[in-house]
């Protein structure tokens, strides 16, 4: 196969092209489309997603913003959590609302002074209310309020300032 045939219309006829830059653009577009389309999609769905992706690129929003906005969750939050949610970025708000949805599986076993002991689907967690920390992996790795801290916040109203400092 000749080398010129390997490139994406960079060397064909009297068509105005941009040389090797054309191939680089095609390859980068292919990478973005492959990231947006799944292997299990039908041809119709692939074409629809490719068309939708191309229309998104013509708008002023970045592709990352579009992907993040597709993954947002809309849940009703208790009125006490609205000031906390208003202080967060949209991405963090999405994560906290997701944790709020999972909060229904958490039960508070007992309270001992500044400690709350909770059971979440068979796992035991401790929340230290004096420093607003939990020993779950979500809080330790991501450092945003987990479902256990949210339950502690709903149970006790005096944690507002401490939760905002996280």
Tell which phi-psi region holds residue 63, choosing left (phi > 0), alpha (psi between -120 and 50) or beta: alpha
Whole-number Å distance between alpha carbons of 161 and 120: 25
* Cα distance between the two ends of the chain: 60
Confidence (pLDDT) at 162: 53
Q: Which DSSP letter does residue 148 get?
A: H
For 88-120, how does the pLDDT look when each residue is reduced to its tens digit (9 = 90+)? 777 777 788 888 888 888 888 888 888 889 998
What is the domain partition of the chain in residue ranges?
3-70, 79-164
CB burial of residue 100 (10 Å; 0-12, 13-18, 19+): buried
**Given this model, what pLDDT does residue 119 score?**
92
Identify the pLDDT of residue 166.
Answer: 47
**Torsion angle defined by CA atoms of residues 143, 148, 149 and 150, in that order, rounded to the nearest 10 degrees:** 110
Report residues of the chain scoring pLDDT below 70.
1-29, 32, 56-76, 157-166
pLDDT at residue 4 in the model: 53
User: According to the model, what pLDDT value does residue 126 have?
Assistant: 92
User: Has this prediction a pTM greater than 0.75?
Assistant: no
């Amino acid at each position: 196969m000749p080398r010129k045939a390997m490139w994406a219309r960079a060397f064909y006829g009297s068509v105005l092209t941009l040389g090797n830059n054309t191939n680089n653009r095609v390859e980068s577009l292919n990478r973005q489309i492959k990231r947006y389309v799944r292997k299990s999609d039908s041809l119709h769905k692939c074409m629809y997603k490719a068309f939708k992706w191309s229309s998104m690129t013509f708008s002023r929003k970045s592709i990352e913003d579009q992907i993040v906005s597709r993954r947002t969750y809309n849940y009703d939050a208790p009125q006490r959590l609205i000031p906390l949610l208003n202080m967060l970025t949209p991405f963090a708000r999405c994560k906290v609302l997701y944790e709020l949805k999972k909060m229904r599986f958490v039960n508070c076993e007992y309270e001992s002074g500044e400690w709350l002991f909770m059971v979440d689907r068979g796992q035991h967690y401790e929340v230290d209310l004096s420093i607003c920390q939990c020993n779950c992996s979500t809080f330790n790795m991501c450092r945003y309020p987990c479902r256990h801290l949210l339950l502690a916040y709903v149970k006790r109203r005096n944690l507002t300032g401490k939760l905002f400092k996280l």
